[in-house]
């Protein structure tokens, strides 16, 4: 579904990604794990068209997207749930969800809203509440629900567990597992490597802008270098 080859990207004079290649197949959950600053978010931003590739290629469903503007990439079926949630703080929960589906022209949006309120029951009684007044965990659920409102083929999550209490992190993990079980393809970036590797069918380890290891989530969970560097045992 997604084929990234020899991708180079960076900011100003500095290259952050030094030619990385990775794939995401339909209905897979693929994780990029690695330390702070390794370039994980930059890789995601390139896929979404928010940072331009300096070299290499990005193909989605067989077509190059590395020169396609971000808003057109969303229309092709790639949606990002951004790091730090970035809900529209002054808009209500319902308005945030409608924004997630703003480019849709079909008549199923009302049904999807209902389904999302069923999936995230804490959001239903808060539908008219300003999103900025929600707790961090509720905002994360809203950011995930907003991403799903676009009915993405590929849903990208950037650090969904960041800054959340352990109980909420468990809820995020269960939610992502459910999204994957529903057939949505997932690309996940996480510093919480143990969570990411539990969820991932396959994963790539990124170090200083290079992919240094790849394997199934299960293989990497027991890989000595990964467990020492990222899992803390």
Using CB under 6 A as the criterion, which residues of the chain lie in contact with ligand ATP when the complex forms? 11, 16, 34, 36-42, 191
Q: How far apart are CB 41 and ligand ATP at their closest, in Å?
A: 3
Q: Which two tokens stand for residue 53?
A: 């590739």
The torsion of the CA quartet 106, 3, 11, 231, rounded to 10 degrees, works out to 100
In the complex, least distance from residue 214 CB atom to ligand ATP, rounded to whole angstroms: 16
Residue 83 Cβ vs ligand ATP, minimum distance, rounded to whole Å? 6
Residue placing its CB nearer to ligand ATP in the complex, 39 or 217: 39
Closer residue to ligand ATP, CB minimum distance, 37 or 132: 37
Choice between 32 and 145, CB closer to ligand ATP: 32
**Alpha-carbon torsion angle 134, 128, 89, 96, nearest 10:** 110
* 140 and 164 Cβ atoms separated by less than 8 Å: yes
Rounded Cα distance, 22 and 74, in Å: 20
- Cα 203 versus chain centre, distance: 14
Cα(201)–Cα(187) distance, integer angstroms: 10
Residue placing its CB nearer to ligand ATP in the complex, 149 or 188: 188
Rounded to a whole number of angstroms, the CA Rg of the chain reads 17
Tokens of 197: 């590797």
In whole angstroms, give the CA distance from residue 140 to residue 87. 8
Nearer to ligand ATP, 39 or 100 (CB): 39
Write down the least CB distance from residue 93 to ligand ATP, Å: 26
Closest approach, Cβ 36 to ligand ATP, in A, equals 4
Instruction: Name the residue nearer to ligand ATP (CB basis): 16 or 123.
Output: 16
CB of 16 to ligand ATP, least distance (A): 4
Query: Residue 179 and residue 171: Cα distance in Å, rounded?
Result: 12
């Amino acid at each position: 579904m997604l084929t990234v080859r020899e991708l180079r990207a960076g900011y100003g004079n500095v290259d952050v990604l030094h030619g990385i290649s990775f794939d995401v197949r339909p209905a897979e959950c693929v994780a990029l794990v690695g330390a702070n600053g390794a370039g994980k978010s930059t890789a995601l931003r390139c896929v979404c068209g928010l940072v331009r590739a300096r070299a290499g290629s990005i193909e989605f469903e067989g077509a190059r997207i590395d020169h396609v503007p971000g808003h057109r990439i969303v229309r092709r079926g790639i949606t990002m749930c951004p790091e730090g949630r970035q809900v529209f703080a002054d808009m209500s929960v319902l308005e945030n969800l409608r924004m997630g589906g703003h480019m849709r022209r079909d008549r199923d949006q009302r049904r999807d809203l209902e389904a999302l309120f069923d999936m995230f029951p804490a959001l239903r009684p808060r539908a008219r509440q300003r999103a900025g007044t929600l707790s961090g965990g509720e905002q994360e659920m809203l950011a995930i629900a907003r991403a799903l409102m676009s009915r993405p083929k590929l849903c990208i999550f950037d650090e969904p567990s960041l800054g959340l209490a352990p109980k909420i992190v468990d809820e995020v993990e269960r939610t992502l597992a459910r999204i994957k079980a529903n057939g949505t393809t997932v690309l996940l970036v996480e510093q919480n490597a143990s969570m990411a590797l539990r969820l991932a069918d396959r994963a790539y380890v990124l170090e200083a802008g290079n992919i240094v290891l790849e394997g199934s989530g299960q293989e990497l969970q027991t890989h000595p270098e990964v467990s020492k560097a990222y899992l803390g045992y």
